[in-house]
Structure formats: C-alpha cells, structure tokens
Amino acid sequence: MPAPTRSGPRPLRAAGGEGSGPVAPGDSETRHALARPLDFSGDLGGAVGEFRRAIELEPQRAELRDDLGAVLVQKPDAAGAAAEFSEALRLQPNFEQAHFHLGVLRYQEKSFEEAAQRLKTAVELNSADAGAHYYLAQVLKSKGETSAAIRELQACVALRPDYPDAENSLGLLLQHSGDGEQAVAAFRKAASLDPRLTSTCSQEIAKEELRNVWRLGDVAGQGAVYSKEVMESPCAAPRAPCPRARRERLSRG
C-alpha cells in the first residue's frame, strides 16, 4: 500500500554537516524538520539526536515523542521506543498514531493482550485506518480469535482493496474456518495484486479444489486439479507479511 502523504518543510541538512545552513537553536520545529530527512535517508543516529534536541525545546509535544519512538524501533531499541510511545500517550491519551505504534511493537514482542488493547483503541479512534485493522487482525489471529480476525481483515481490504498481504492472510483464515469458496477468491485476488504470491496462493487454491473433488467423490480428478493450479503456475518465493512499524512507511488508508 502506498504510504500516506505528509506535508512538512523542505528537507534540511543536519547542523554542522557539510553544506549545512543556519539552524535556529531555539526552534523545535527546525530540529523536527532536520530529523525527518535524516530518518528517511537511514541516518538513524542523526535523526535520534535531532528529535532529542527538539524534545528538549518542547518536551510536552506528543508528536515528537512518537516520531522519536518510531526511529528507535528501527535501531532497534524496543525498550526506548516503548518509553517514547508511552510518554506520547501520557501527554495526549487519544493520540491514535501512538496507540498504533505501541500496539504494533507489542505485537512484535508477542505481548498480545496489550497489543490488542492498543490496536483496538487505534481502530476506535480512526476506523478508516486500514493498517490498524490489518495489525489488529494479526493479533487476534495469534490469540486464536479467528472470526474476529476475519472481520478485521475484511474491513482492511474494504478500505484498501490493493493490499495483497491482507488478501493472502484473509484467505488463510477463511480456509481455516472452512469457507473454501471465499478463501479461493481471496487467494486469487492476492496473486493478482502481487506475482510473488502466485506460487503460494496457487497451492492453497489447489488444496481447496482438491477438497471439493474429494467431497464430490471424483478421485480421478485430483491430479488434474493439482496440475492446473500448481504445476502450471510461475514458481515464486512465498512472502510473509511483515510490514514495518513506521507509520510513514506502512500502507495505510
């Protein structure tokens, strides 16, 4: 999914770097503006330094805490990131993005109860956020709540119909729940959106077709089904859905 657009000042160089221009030392927004391009260019240490300087100048600004946490996740410094997300929520309890970030982090740490709580709050605060529905579905799936996970993935793909990982995940859950027809539809959609999923999805489709053959008692048709859905499909490596936790780099509605 395409990353959301986000307005902001033009990219600036870090203070003291080659070609750097004058930086207002008492301006937190200047430090914020310096940090973002450093983050996106991969200079995480520089970005952390600028975010910390911005926070020193404006310690009550929740957005700065959340942005710093998102950079710390990438270093990786999970404990530091969690502390920044938590502080952002202390400053601004209904900060949907911080609930989302902390929820994804807790999911990655397999702290599913807190992850579910944070991501449910994110969905409540912004029900049009496809990414929050997607990650909430992953948490619910990990907790064994298949029906609820299916509902979240259905909400996700309704908001963003061009999300192949969500379609693939939905297909697997529908298959697990016994809804083979809808599972096949989801697998076909995933493969059409991302050719790298073709091989994996074709194998799952073949399984469902084979089950239908068995139910109909047409044992002779089994080989033909497998050949049609697997042997003739391109061989592509399966890809596990693991989008990055960074909001700007997540696929969102």
What DSSP letter does each residue of 113-150 carry, written as one string? HHHHHHHHHHHHH-TT-HHHHHHHHHHHHHTT-HHHHH
pLDDT score at 165: 94
> What's the CA gap between 172 and 20, in Å, rounded?
51
Q: For residue 49, with 0-12 CB atoms within 10 Å meaning exposed, 13-18 middle and 19 or more buried, which class applies?
A: middle
137: its two tokens: 């579905």
pLDDT score at 26: 59
Cα dist from 252 to 1, 91, 191, 213, whole Å: 7, 24, 20, 39
Closest CA to 72 of 97, 108, 33, 45: 45
Q: Encode the chain (253 residues) as per-residue pLDDT tens digits.
A: 333 322 332 222 233 333 334 444 557 787 777 777 777 878 888 888 888 998 888 899 999 999 999 999 999 999 999 999 999 999 999 999 999 999 999 999 999 999 999 999 999 999 999 999 999 999 999 999 999 999 999 999 999 999 999 999 999 999 988 888 898 899 899 989 988 887 777 777 777 666 655 455 544 444 444 444 433 443 333 344 434 444 544 434 4
CA 244, chain centre distance (Å)? 6
110: its two tokens: 């397999």
Cα torsion angle, 138, 144, 145, 146, sign: positive
Closest CA to 169 of 149, 193, 155, 199: 149
Q: How many residues does the chain have?
A: 253
Q: Class for domain 28-93, per CATH? A: mainly alpha
Q: Where are the domains of the chain?
A: 28-93
